[in-house]
Structures are given as structure tokens and as C-alpha cells.
Amino acid sequence: METILFNDSPEDLYKAAELIKNGEIVGIPTETVYGLGADASNEEAVRKIFAAKGRPADNPLIVHLADFNDAVKYTSHIPEIAYKLADEFCPGPLTIILPKNDKIPSVTSGGLDTVGIRVPAHPVMRRIIEISGCPIAAPSANTSGYPSPTTASHVMYDMSGKISAVVDGGQSEFGLESTVISIENEDTVRILRPGCVTSEHLSRICRNVIIDKAILKEVEAGETVSSPGMKYKHYSPQADIVLLEGAIEAFTEYVGRNYGDDVYGLIFDTDAESFPYRYLTYGSNDSQLAHNIFSKLRELDEMGAKKVFVRAPSKEGVGLAVYNRLIRAAGFEVIRI
Ligand code: TXA
Ligand code: MG
């Protein structure tokens, strides 16, 4: 199949929405990362997403709506706290897990009786939902296991020949996938995947915010998880990633001792002046690190990097979300220096 590249003109958005309505799958920009979108209520279309990504069938898809009030059509119950959170954070990078109803087929929910609802802010994604009239199931548009795509060319690289089209809507603003939360009760939410809506943000609306323990550590074989995605290998480029936690002096010394052909550092902008080895930088504050991390991991592969030592971000605020992706990219190989 030839994958068409659309731009964000009204004609192209109309064509992309038509493809979705007709059961095809399309790469679509969102403010977090690019998604691989299909009509969430069409089982055949949703199966094409799993096939194109090579995604395990038990890993559920997030359903994207133009308005949180439409969630009543696809869920069996919406707690009051969900409305309060939606008032504050939707549209935006937040996914709320709710009990699903039978409008959402079991293939979409990975066999679970819940569904993740997200109201994206990106105007292109919003327009495609509106024109198609479909709830849009969309995982990140990468091959399973590879870093998430933040540009249309990343999506083309992974999906060309496997999907009907990609819509180019520029580089994703946040660069990391949405914060995924479940609701424990009217006072308590649990973060299953950290993102740019942080626990500090959520605490303004909800009294108790629990950070699931799987966010910072590897899930053990046989352990029950709150979110199937926690079990799988993620975000890994071809290069071997090692996360180093510590000051730049110790980082530089460590890389020096382990240096060789095709070894790179991935460091902060502010480290660059004193770093004597091959490197890329990925920003100087948490939002910039989030914005750049996935594209830098892909760029290192293009440059032929075989081993990459990454300067670890903080675990505060948005830093926690970047850290969460990096420990997975590193296969949990974190060294305190
Ligand atoms: O920002 C995002 O969320 C992007 C854009 C495209 O919207 N989407 C995205 O989808 O990251 P995906 O499929 O790559 O990641 C969704 C994560 C997975 O780890 C999945 O296991 C979890 O959310 N998830 C989805 N539905 C769930 C549910 N009902 N219960 C628990 N976890 C769920
Ligand atoms: Mg993903």
C-alpha cells in the first residue's frame, strides 16, 4: 500500500477523515506525540492498528473525543471527580480511565472493561474527529517498542507502506505521551503513566494523587499491573541506552572510561561546553527535555550510535515523565555515578 502524505489544509483533513470513516488507519498529529488513528467502534479498523504496530492484543488503545461531554456515549459511569479534572485539563495531555460500555469493542480495550478517554488539543486531530464523527482510537504511531514519533517523518519512517496516510501537522508540542490516570474514588487518582500533566497539577483538583510504583521500576514476571503497557519494552532505539545519574563531572569521567567508536553522550545544553566527547544535547529544562527526547533517540540511530550514555533528568514535575521513558529505553540500566 502506498502511504499518502497529507498536509493540514481543509481538503486534506477532509480526505483523512473520510479514510477513517471508511475503516482505514491514518497517522495524525497530536500535541503529545503522533497517533495512529482509526474508528474506535470499528473492530476491523482497530485490528489494522495492532497489525501495523506489531502491538500485543492485550494492550488497550486510548479513545480520543472532541469534547469530554461525549464520554457519556462510550462509558457506563463517570465519577464527579472526572468532570472536575476534565474541566481543568481537557483538551490537553491527560487520559482518564473509565468503565466502558458496549459501544467500545473489546479489541479496542484490549479485553478490559475500561477505556482511556482523552480530549486532544491539537487542532488537526480535533478537526479530524469532528469531520469523521468517529471516536478515534489512537496509540502512538511508532512500531511497538520503538520511540514514539513527534513528526510526520518519524511516522513515515515506521509506517510507510503499512497505513493509508499520514497528516503532517508539524512537530508535537509536548513530545511525550499523555498522563494516564485511573480514578480510585472521589478524592483519589492514580498516575499509571506520567506526562506533562504532573502530580502537582492533579493535586490542585484532587486531594490524593498516587504515583503507581511501576512508573519507576521494572514490572516483575507474573506481577499484576494497573495498565498493560507497563509490562512491555518501550521507547528503545537500536542503540544501547545507559542512563547515568549524577553530576556532569562524574558523567564526563564515566563516559571517558567507556568511550570508543560509535559511543555518544546525550546531555543537557548547559553541559556541552565542557564535554569533550561526541554528543547530542536534548535541552536545558524539563519541558525542553520532554519535547526533544524521542526525536534525539531517533537521531542517534540515524547517526549510527551503538551506545549512548544519557544524562538523567530530575524525577520532579515533567522530569518524572522523561525519566520514566528513559529507564524503559535503557531496559532499566540506570547507574548512579
Ligand atoms: O498522548 C497519548 O496518550 C498518545 C496520543 C496519540 O494520544 N497515545 C498513546 O497511546 O500514547 P499508547 O497506546 O501508545 O499508550 C497508551 C497507554 C498504554 O500503556 C496502555 O496500556 C494504557 O495507556 N492504557 C490504555 N487504555 C487503558 C486502560 N483502559 N486501562 C489501563 N491502561 C490503559
Ligand atoms: Mg505508545
Task: Band the pLDDT of 18: cuts 50, 70, 90.
Answer: very high
Closest approach atom of ligand 1 to CA 140: 14
pLDDT tens across 131-140, in order? 999 999 999 9
DSSP-derived letter for residue 177 is P
* Cα 256 to Cα 118: distance, rounded to the nearest angstrom: 44
Crossing angle of helices 10-21/123-132, nearest 10°? 50
DSSP-derived letter for residue 233 is -
For residues 180 and 98, the answer to whether their CB atoms sit within 8 Å is no
CA 3 to centroid of ligand 2, rounded, Å: 21
Establish whether residue 147 lines the binding site of ligand 1, counting it when its CB lies within 6 angstroms of any ligand atom. no
pLDDT of residue 222: 84
CA 4 to centroid of ligand 1, rounded, Å: 26
Establish whether residue 23 lines the binding site of ligand 1, counting it when its CB lies within 6 angstroms of any ligand atom. no
Nine cell digits for residue 245: 545519574
Task: Band the pLDDT of 9: cuts 50, 70, 90.
Answer: very high
CA 185 to centroid of ligand 2, rounded, Å: 27
pLDDT tens across 48-94, in order? 999 999 999 999 999 999 999 999 999 999 999 999 999 999 999 99
Neighbours of 299 (CB within 10 A): 15
SS3 143: coil
DSSP-derived letter for residue 40 is T
**CA-CA-CA-CA torsion sign (125, 126, 129, 132):** negative
* Cα 38 to Cα 21: distance, rounded to the nearest angstrom: 8
pLDDT of residue 224: 86
Residue nearest to atom 29 of ligand 1 (CA): 115
| Secondary structure percentages of the chain, helix, strand, coil, to 5 | 35, 20, 45
pLDDT of residue 221: 83
Mean pLDDT of 280-284: 98
Whether pTM > 0.75 for this model: the answer is yes
Tell me whether residue 224 is exposed, middle or buried, using C-beta atoms within 10 angstroms of its C-beta: 0 to 12, 13 to 18, 19 or more.
Answer: exposed
pLDDT of residue 220: 86
Nine cell digits for residue 4: 499518502
Q: Give the distance, in angstroms, between the CA of residue 149 and the centroid of all CA atoms in the same chain.
A: 9
Nearest ligand, measured from the Cα of 232 = 1
Phi and psi for 30 in degrees, rounded to 5? -135, 175
* Cα 232 to Cα 140: distance, rounded to the nearest angstrom: 14
Nine cell digits for residue 19: 479514510
Nearest ligand, measured from the Cα of 181 = 1
CA 180 to centroid of ligand 2, rounded, Å: 12
For residues 36 and 126, the answer to whether their CB atoms sit within 8 Å is no
Residue-averaged pLDDT of the chain: 97
CA 261 to centroid of ligand 1, rounded, Å: 37
